[in-house]
Chain A
């Protein structure tokens, strides 16, 4: 482009900009919704995908075994027919017989058969594939320590298959609800490089939408899948997901009306939106993730150097009284109100308030009480013997480094407040922010004495990850308790989910008493939705759950240039 042309172009720009919007002709945006996301999908192969974005969008592309919904009044998952029409438990709960629909086709017209499902499960369970959901098949049949698809999955005929489990437990349906992928496409795929298989770029599914185009880092276009019969065809022609990582930019797009759905909206922006943007409706999601301050329960040096049984307690946080004292010393309610306003709920244990039936309601959250905190620390042997303002015991000062991930402003605030409030009871806290990769790795490998972490819970109760074996990477604080071990065995092997209620309540009492970590609060994510979009059912399963039902209420309301 020559300079002169550019000059003319710049001139034109000035003229055209003022002309503004197009009018007349039918606008395709009347049948299109735009969703803003903070991060891109990593792949659309449900076997290997790990990002939240992928998980959200995949549900609309791939067929689902069951149509799952979460009943908030009741606090548990409901399974309705999907690919599976009918299911029954047999052989004393060890077998699950599934009756499948025989009329569902992949996008390319080929029928979905039990073979597809068996093939998919064999991939989920193969350690070479390294699926993040490999643990879903953990309770099926294993041969020589490896998942054995042939013994676990039996195909009776085109519409019937049987899954064999090694034990009876309430999460069987939950674990069967994995997306199948088409066998005829992936049959010869190399398992080790499945995550980079070129076919992943063009996923073939059977859901209400299909992938039209995926421009990495930029946008993901879903269009209606006209052949979908599972569960319902989409009402909108098209849903576009745009990747905008800068929060201010994302919010601007929502306010301008160029984005219809945006998540998350920060609580600090709520007032501004409510006052100035009547075209935006804010929806609150039930609490599914919590923040906590992890106190390492065990001596990490010994944990890393020696055998992993009966490790001695951590010199600072090994004593439950100390951990209680720390919880007392921190004004959790103040932190929550400051950060989340009314969009948070004080966390008592790691059992989400959404599981109403399993929550022990009579546990009283530790109040902010510095006097009580000092008293507990004194009784655990910590006092300021040398007068430097920092507690000490046996020559060791109560001083530690608190790690959190860099750039997470909420945790930065928590860290700053914790540092300040613990100073008041005589504990010196050093702050260190590190990159997320570094933080997560070190937390999972138990290399930090104290850190701020967060956790997003599954929709079925399974405390075994967090409080099970010490070597489990999600038991981030190295908590060990014999009674909880027993309760886990009991609770996870009842025939019916609800029967585990009493066990889970006891687990909560123990956790509350022992305070393996200081639970801060549950977040209620806020989703901003443009009012032109109707029938959204934004729920705990994610922003794009039931996306097939979305409709544009008010035509010609999309902003264009």
Chain B
């Protein structure tokens, strides 16, 4: 197992390098000038040229590439143009925020999704089944930003139940730890819901299909025939096998969540990777774009790896050598 993981991680390195090189060139081919954002109002007219010189943007592309490869080999990610700070520091500040959001969204996604899937599969054909199916389809089909804004206006402004945006109250750092956690938790509810609910609906539908397939298998019938309680049959025999395809989903849903995070983070003013990446792309902040790409690439690859490992845990037939 360890060797397998090691091999997987090693094989991911050229993959990441390819990804970064691809990003490096395509983003530099894009029109637009990272410096131009600052040149407005009462700014020195020669400023753009000076800044471009000092950022090394006037070098020919191959030279920039060689420089970049060198610095990457040394583990340096450079300095963000738009935020004037080391890319590594920015990423270190931002990644935890995104993890907080995505991990809880994933949890929400799978807990709610699996619960819905089991309910609908067991009550197949009933009113509950149809109702849940249709509702989850509707939720799944809503544009995220629209759902987010509606929730802010409805739950936060009209009903005044939850805070509208941000990660915590302005003075949260002076609160005692439990109060602080409580504060953050309240701020998380809406964004986690919006981020997780669509995938939860999807997971629920997958789970339903998967469980239905398993329930009709011989061994489940045998278990039933043995006179085991329905709870044991489903909980012990059927569920375990039905979960296997869902675990693949877990790995695959990471890039999806990261993509969705862009919108959720903007709507809820949550300072995470998604918004950072989009801002970086729009500002043509080359070093930061590369940094963000690296992070999302690593997260995706780790997600896949995690799914494979979980596979092995859930399904003892699978062995990685």
Contacts and interface: CB of A to CB of B under 8 A. Distances in A.
A159 B226 CA distance: 99
A28 B171 contact: yes
A3 interface: yes
Interface stretch (A86-94, A300-308, A432-440): A432-440
A254 B146 CA distance: 20
B205 to A, nearest CB: 21
A7 B31 CA distance: 49
Which of A135, A238, A248, A436 counts the most chain B CB atoms within 10 A? A248
Contacts of A129: 54
Interface of B: 31-34, 36-48, 50-51, 53-54, 79, 82-86, 90, 93-94, 107, 111, 149, 152-153, 156-157, 160-167, 169-171, 173-174, 182-183, 185-186, 189, 266-269, 271, 275-276, 282-284
Nearest to A251: B157
Contacts of B90: 216
Contacts of B37: 50, 436-437, 440
Contacts of A134: 44, 46-47, 50
Contact of A256 (B32, B50, B164): B164
A218 interface: yes
A32 interface: yes
Interface stretch (A76-84, A189-197, A349-357, A498-506): A189-197
Contact of A444 (B48, B53, B153): B48
B34 A437 contact: yes
Contact of B163 (A7, A128, A217, A258): A258
Interface in A416-438: 434-438
B164 to A, nearest CB: 5
Given A3-B111, A441-B36, A444-B36, A253 B186 contact: no
Contact of A561 (B33, B51, B169, B271): B169
Contact of A242 (B86, B166, B266): B166
Contacts of A243: 269, 271
B45 A474 contact: yes
A440 B90 CA distance: 26
B111 A215 contact: no
B164 A258 contact: yes
Nearest to B56: A192
B40 A216 contact: no
A488 to B, nearest CB: 14
A29 interface: yes
Contact of B156 (A42, A200, A256): A256
B83 A458 contact: no
A252 B45 contact: no
A240 interface: yes
Interface in A193-219: 193, 195-196, 200-201, 213, 215-219
Contacts of A40: 83
B125 to A, nearest CB: 28
21 contacts: A1-B107, A17-B186, A48-B84, A132-B44, A133-B42, A135-B46, A192-B54, A196-B79, A201-B85, A217-B94, A217-B276, A244-B269, A246-B266, A246-B267, A258-B163, A436-B282, A437-B34, A440-B36, A444-B36, A473-B45, A474-B45
Which of A32, A127, A436, A437 counts the most chain B CB atoms within 10 A? A437
Interface footprint category on A? 35 or more
A217 B161 CA distance: 25
B36 A437 contact: yes
B164 A455 contact: no
A437 B284 contact: yes
Contacts of A248: 149, 152-153
Contact of B170 (A13, A242, A246, A256): A242
Contacts of A216: 83, 85, 90, 93-94, 271
A536 interface: no
A111 interface: no
B186 A245 contact: no
B33 A437 contact: yes
A458 B84 contact: no
A8 interface: no
Nearest to A221: B170
A396 B45 CA distance: 35
Contacts of A28: 171, 174
A6 interface: yes
B275 to A, nearest CB: 7
Contacts of B34: 437
Interface string A519-561: 0000000000000000000000000000000000000000011
B166 A244 contact: yes
A255 interface: yes
A196 to B, nearest CB: 4
A17 B155 CA distance: 11
A130 interface: yes
B271 A217 contact: yes
Given A255-B157, A437-B36, A444-B36, A130 B51 contact: yes
Q: Which label, helix, strand, loop or mixed, suits the secondary structure of the A interface? A: mixed
A561 B111 contact: no
A172 interface: no
A135 B156 CA distance: 47
A485 to B, nearest CB: 16
Contacts of A240: 170-171
Contacts of B149: 246, 248-249
Contacts of B185: 9, 13
A252 B186 contact: no
B45 A245 contact: no
B261 to A, nearest CB: 13
Given A134-B44, A561-B183, A252 B266 contact: no
Contact of A195 (B84, B174, B283): B84
Contact of A34 (B51, B153, B164, B170): B170
Please name the 5 residue pairs, one residue from A and one from B, whose CB atoms are nearest each other, closest first. A437-B32, A50-B38, A217-B271, A130-B50, A441-B33
B83 A42 contact: yes
Interface string A429-469: 00000111110110010000000000111100000010000
Contact of B47 (A132, A221, A255): A132
Contact of A437 (B164, B167, B189, B282): B282
A43 to B, nearest CB: 4
B53 A130 contact: yes
Interface in A30-88: 32, 34, 40, 42-43, 45, 48, 50-51
A131 interface: yes
Contacts of B40: 440, 455-456
B84 A441 contact: no
Given A473-B45, A561-B186, A132 B163 contact: no
A472 interface: yes
A474 B44 CA distance: 10
A252 B93 contact: no
Given A6-B107, A256-B164, A465-B45, 6 more contacts: A132-B43, A216-B271, A238-B171, A242-B170, A248-B153, A252-B152
Nearest to B32: A437
Given A128-B54, A195-B84, A215-B93, A473 B182 contact: no
A74 to B, nearest CB: 21
Contacts of A561: 162-163, 169, 183, 186
Contacts of A434: 31
B41 A458 contact: yes
A16 B178 CA distance: 13
A90 B267 CA distance: 57
A561 B107 CA distance: 25
